[in-house]
């Protein structure tokens, strides 16, 4: 029986409200008695905190709460792999993502004024901003356990044989930059305490149930006393997986007993969420005279910034995807996630598989150029097909439509693909 609805193109269920402006995002929410929250980010990327003077901030009329690390009742840290990114920094700051002070006031202007009156005394520490330098012996340590967060290895086949069988070896280093998700809607949260003491947090997030776990850990409050309501989300792309202002908004609401809303400016948003890992990727690719791949060796270094976020998993994904969609008998991959004092990097659309594509597809074109072959022909003959084995030894049993995508895309730009691959 033919499907009735699957494969059609209905109007999106949220389209009408978004097109008319009826959709309420967390930043649009207003409730009686609501206070405005604001966060102070570190001006330094690596420094010891000597003192935080709050007296003048408290004197600003309309200020209801000024919080620092000592006001965090539970575990003062969050993070999807390692909960070590402070909710409010206590002894030192490791990046400009670190939040030092959270305030709540009757008006946004009063909250901003209070932040300007906070006196921060910092002593700069030796810092490292280059992932390769951070791996070297004697580099300033960002965390006591060392600057290498993770090292993933893929070993398949026999590299010596792979190079021996190669008629050509192409070697290049590729660099990709740090980028931001730049979603339309900046971070926003509204926290309120219900009668009975339940915390309700309205937040544009990718995962309300995870946010509840993080809130529970940092607030020292059981999960059944916390309700997270995922509001409408104006784009995420991986930038709403880590905590940004959830815990601070909740703390301010708990301290004041009043609803508290925090909305990031664009500048604050750039400091609040993760970034795409900048990567350095060194590749050696071997191929026969006919263009058949014999070996791929890749060393991938990802700058994960000052906190782990998803760094381990992102670089694991980079390693798994390092060969591209090709059958390669001999593979050696080393992928490192490395701490620096740069803004932290985490999930972003592609999650570590976006960067290696820049490298392995550059290599495929170079192999074609050196051998005088058509770029299509080199890709076609190495393409993964149903039943093939990947660099991790996985057999792809079903749904491998790669060659169909090559054929259709190539034909549409006028390449005579059947002639090219013979």
Partner 1 sequence: MARRRGIGMASVFYGTGYGNGFPDVSSAIVELHPSGKATVRTGAVDCGQGSSTVFAIIAAEVLGLQVSDITVTTGDTDNTPDTGTTAATRQTYNTGNAVRLAALDALRPLLDLVKPKLAVNTVDGLVVRGGAIEVRGWPGRKVTLAEAIAVAQAEGLTTMGQATFTAHTTALDPENGQGAPYWPYAFATHMAEVEVDTLTGMVEVLRVVAAHDVGRAINRAGVEGQIEGGVAQGLGYALLEEVQLDSGRIQNPNLAGYLVPTAMDMAVVESIIVEHPEPSGPFGAKGIGEPAILPVAPAILNAIFDAVGVRITDLPATPEKILQAIKLQEDRGIVK
Within positions 39 to 98, which residues make up the interface with partner 1, using CB under 8 A?
A: 43, 45-46, 95-96
Of 320, 337, 338, 367, the one binding partner 1 (CB under 8 A) is: 320
Q: What whole-number distance in Å separates Cα of residue 417 and Cα of residue 276? A: 35
| 160 sits near partner 1 (criterion: CB under 8 A) | no
Of 115, 354, 367, 371, the one binding partner 1 (CB under 8 A) is: 354
DSSP 306: T
- Residue 387 near residue 396 (C-beta atoms within 8 A): yes
Q: What whole-number distance in Å separates Cα of residue 236 and Cα of residue 129? A: 26
| Shortest distance, position 198 Cβ to partner 1, whole Å | 9
The nearer residue to partner 1, 54 or 190, going by C-beta atoms, is 190
Per-position x/- string for 177-196, each x denoting binding to partner 1 as judged by CB under 8 A, each - no binding: xxxx-x--------------
Q: What whole-number distance in Å separates Cα of residue 272 and Cα of residue 276? A: 13
Beta 226-230 vs 199-203: how paired, if at all? parallel
Contacts of partner 1 in 393-412 (CB under 8 A): 393-394, 396, 398-402, 404-406, 408-410, 412
The nearer residue to partner 1, 261 or 275, going by C-beta atoms, is 275
Contacts of partner 1 in 253-312 (CB under 8 A): 266-267, 269-271, 275
| Shortest distance, position 76 Cβ to partner 1, whole Å | 22
DSSP SS3 for 294: strand
Beta-bridge partner residues of 382: none
Closest CA to 175 of 297, 323, 328, 299: 299
Among the candidate windows 53-61, 151-159, 160-168, 287-295, which touches partner 1 by CB under 8 A? 151-159
Of 127, 191, 249, 300, the one binding partner 1 (CB under 8 A) is: 127
| Shortest distance, position 29 Cβ to partner 1, whole Å | 15
Structural tokens at position 18:
């978004």
Q: What whole-number distance in Å separates Cα of residue 247 and Cα of residue 203? A: 11
Of 117, 350, 373, 421, the one binding partner 1 (CB under 8 A) is: 350
Q: How far from 352 is each of 82, 156, 181, 422, CA to CA, in Å?
A: 19, 21, 14, 35
Locate tokens 């409200």: which residue?
17
| Shortest distance, position 308 Cβ to partner 1, whole Å | 15
- How many C-beta neighbours within 10 Å does residue 236 have? 19
The nearer residue to partner 1, 36 or 344, going by C-beta atoms, is 344
The nearer residue to partner 1, 1 or 22, going by C-beta atoms, is 1
Closest CA to 155 of 320, 282, 292: 320
| Shortest distance, position 317 Cβ to partner 1, whole Å | 7
| 154 sits near partner 1 (criterion: CB under 8 A) | yes
For 280, list phi and psi in degrees, rounded to 5: -110, 125
Of 321, 330, 337, 339, the one binding partner 1 (CB under 8 A) is: 321
- Residue 37 near residue 249 (C-beta atoms within 8 A): yes
Give the count of residues interacting with partner 1 (CB under 8 A): 110
For 273, list phi and psi in degrees, rounded to 5: -105, 170
DSSP 220: T
The nearer residue to partner 1, 17 or 55, going by C-beta atoms, is 17
For 26, list phi and psi in degrees, rounded to 5: -55, -35
Structural tokens at position 181:
């998700």
| 36 sits near partner 1 (criterion: CB under 8 A) | no
Per-position x/- string for 202-241, each x denoting binding to partner 1 as judged by CB under 8 A, each - no binding: ---xxxxxx-x-------------xxxxxx-xxxxxx-xx
């Amino acid at each position: 029986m033919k499907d009735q609805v699957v494969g059609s193109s209905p109007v999106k269920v949220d389209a009408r409200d978004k097109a008319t402006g009826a959709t309420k995002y967390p930043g649009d929410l207003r409730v009686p008695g609501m206070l405005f929250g604001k966060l102070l980010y570190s001006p330094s990327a690596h420094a010891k905190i000597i003192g935080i003077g709050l007296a003048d901030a408290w004197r600003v009329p309309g200020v209801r709460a000024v919080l620092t690390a000592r006001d965090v009742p539970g575990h003062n840290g969050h993070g999807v792999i390692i909960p070590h990114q402070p909710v409010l920094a206590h002894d030192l700051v490791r990046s400009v993502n670190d939040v030092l002070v959270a305030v709540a006031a009757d008006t946004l202007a009063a909250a901003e004024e209070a932040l300007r009156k906070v006196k921060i005394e910092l002593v700069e520490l030796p810092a490292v901003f280059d992932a390769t330098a951070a791996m070297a012996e004697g580099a300033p340590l960002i965390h006591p356990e060392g600057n290498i967060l993770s090292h993933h290895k893929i070993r398949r086949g026999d590299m010596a044989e792979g190079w021996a069988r190669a008629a050509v070896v192409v070697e290049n280093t590729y660099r990709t930059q740090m980028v931001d998700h730049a979603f339309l809607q900046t971070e926003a949260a509204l926290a309120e305490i219900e009668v009975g003491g339940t915390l309700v947090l309205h937040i544009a997030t990718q995962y309300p149930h995870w946010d509840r776990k993080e809130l529970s850990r940092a607030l020292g409050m059981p999960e059944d006393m916390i309700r997270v309501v995922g509001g409408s989300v104006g784009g995420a792309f991986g930038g709403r997986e880590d905590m940004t202002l959830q815990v601070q908004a909740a703390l301010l609401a708990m301290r004041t007993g009043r609803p508290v809303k925090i909305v990031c400016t664009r500048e604050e948003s750039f400091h609040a969420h993760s970034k795409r890992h900048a990567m350095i990727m060194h590749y050696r690719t071997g191929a026969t005279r006919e263009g058949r791949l014999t070996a791929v060796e890749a060393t991938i270094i990802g700058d994960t910034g000052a906190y782990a976020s998803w760094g381990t998993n992102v670089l694991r994904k980079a390693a798994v995807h390092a060969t591209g969609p090709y059958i390669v008998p001999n593979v050696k991959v080393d992928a490192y996630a490395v701490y620096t004092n740069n803004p932290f990097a985490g999930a972003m659309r592609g999650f570590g598989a976006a960067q290696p594509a820049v490298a392995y597809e550059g290599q495929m074109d170079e192999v074609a150029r050196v051998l005088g072959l058509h770029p299509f022909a080199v890709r076609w003959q190495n393409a993964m097909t149903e039943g093939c084995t990947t660099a991790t030894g996985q057999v792809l049993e079903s749904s491998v439509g790669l060659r169909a995508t090559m054929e259709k895309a190539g034909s549409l730009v006028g390449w005579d693909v059947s002639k090219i691959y013979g």
